[in-house]
């Protein structure tokens, strides 16, 4: 199948679970995961200050020390209690014990963390958030700062603040990461917004495409996440999702690819999508990500076949 002229979007490692103590992955193994990704050709990493209460940023900064070509996307806007380095390391040691005690103990240990409820996008708070992220990441400038799921936020004070931060050299670009595709409408095309991150997968492509087209027309970069359908690609009780995965499996067998390969390749081949974030939690996920990066783009016929499945199997 032809692959002429298809330029796939960049793959980025999603770090929402980096530093998750109960995953069973130690501090050193988390660092090794990031370095394995770099060695495999992955040089973009998506995180947030609130992920694992700052631990994701701290681990990423440690792992990418001495890697000047690595690009870090982080986010700010949620209020949380930052975890100290000592506390974070202690939790890695306690993680295996907590897992053996069962779900109730996990809930007790993690209660109140990563709730993603209270937000603050005031210039005063964002200034403090950037200062803290720079410290945890161990860098002098954030490559891309994204507003973390802003809702009912007046863009003008934020954009004025961002211009000052860019002029001061603390951030290079400003973007917005939305939870719902419709929320991107208020931001795409605004002067000063360089990128928009939104969910985009074979399961919800039709919803995202108008925003992607609008972003493409305005010169706003698009970062796609959730390309594996939030777990629906691997397991689902939803009948429409089962039909979709069955059709993808049939096509995958014809193409000599995996279902995940087709789903990620579909997002990477979508015009207007610049970066595709694939979230990782365990070491073997990094191996899969590197393999996807080396696999190459889908061919035109493969892209057309996936698009046909997306259209035919829509709920």
Question: What pLDDT score was predicted for residue 107?
Answer: 45
- Kindly list the domain boundaries of the chain, sorted by start residue: 10-235+270-298
Query: CA torsion sign, 227 to 233 to 234 to 238?
Result: positive
In angstroms, the first-to-last Cα distance of the chain is: 29
Confidence of residue 92 (pLDDT cuts 50, 70, 90): low
The predicted-structure confidence for 101-129, as pLDDT tens digits, reads as follows 555 544 444 444 545 679 999 999 999 99
Question: What predicted TM-score, i.e. pTM, was given to this entire model?
Answer: 0.89
| Backbone dihedral angles phi then psi of residue 72, each to the nearest 5 degrees | -115, 125
Radius of gyration of the chain (CA): 20
Is the pLDDT at 78 greater than 70, yes or no?
A: yes
pLDDT number for residue 102: 56
**Is 100 a residue whose pLDDT tops 70?**
no
pLDDT of residue 95: 54
User: Is pLDDT of 144 > 80?
Assistant: yes
Burial class of residue 277 in the structure, from the number of CB atoms within 10 Å of its CB (0-12 exposed, 13-18 middle, 19+ buried): buried
pLDDT recorded at residue 45? 98
Closest CA to 165 of 190, 143, 189: 143
For the chain, give the mean pLDDT. Answer: 87
Q: What angle do CA 63, 65, 71 make, to 5 degrees?
A: 85
Domain 10-235+270-298 has CATH 3.40.190.10: no
User: CB neighbours of 291 closer than 8 A, spacing ≥ 6?
Assistant: none
Host H or E run for residue 209:
helix 205-218
């Amino acid at each position: 199948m032809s692959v002429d002229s298809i330029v796939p979007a960049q793959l980025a490692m999603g770090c929402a679970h980096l530093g998750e103590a109960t995953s069973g992955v130690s501090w050193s193994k988390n660092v090794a995961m990031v370095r394995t990704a770099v060695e495999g050709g992955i040089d973009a990493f998506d995180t947030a200050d609130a992920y694992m209460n700052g631990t994701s940023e701290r681990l990423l900064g440690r792992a990418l020390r001495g890697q000047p070509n690595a690009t870090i996307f982080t986010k700010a806007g949620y209020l949380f209690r930052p975890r100290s380095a000592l506390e974070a390391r202690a939790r890695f040691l306690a993680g295996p014990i907590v897992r053996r005690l069962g779900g109730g103990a996990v809930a007790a240990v993690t209660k109140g963390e990563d709730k993603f409820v209270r937000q603050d996008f005031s210039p005063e708070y964002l200034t403090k958030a950037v200062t803290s992220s720079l410290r945890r990441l161990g860098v002098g400038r954030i490559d891309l700062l994204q507003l973390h799921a802003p809702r009912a936020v007046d863009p003008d004070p934020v954009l004025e603040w961002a211009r000052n931060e860019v002029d001061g050299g603390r951030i290079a670009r400003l973007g917005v990461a939305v939870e719902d595709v419709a929320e991107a409408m208020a931001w795409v095309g605004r002067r000063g917004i360089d990128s928009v991150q939104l969910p985009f997968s074979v399961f919800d492509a039709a919803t995202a495409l108008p925003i992607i087209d609008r972003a493409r027309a305005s010169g706003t970069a698009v970062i796609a996440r959730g390309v594996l359908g939030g777990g629906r690609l691997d397991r689902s009780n939803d009948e429409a999702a089962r039909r979709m995965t069955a059709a993808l499996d049939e096509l995958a067998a014809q193409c000599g690819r995996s279902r995940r390969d087709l789903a990620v390749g579909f997002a990477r081949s979508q015009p207007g999508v610049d970066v595709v974030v694939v979230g990782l939690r365990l070491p073997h996920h990094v191996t899969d990500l590197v393999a996807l990066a080396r696999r190459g783009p889908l061919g035109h016929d493969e892209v057309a076949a996936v698009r046909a499945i997306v259209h035919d199997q829509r709920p």
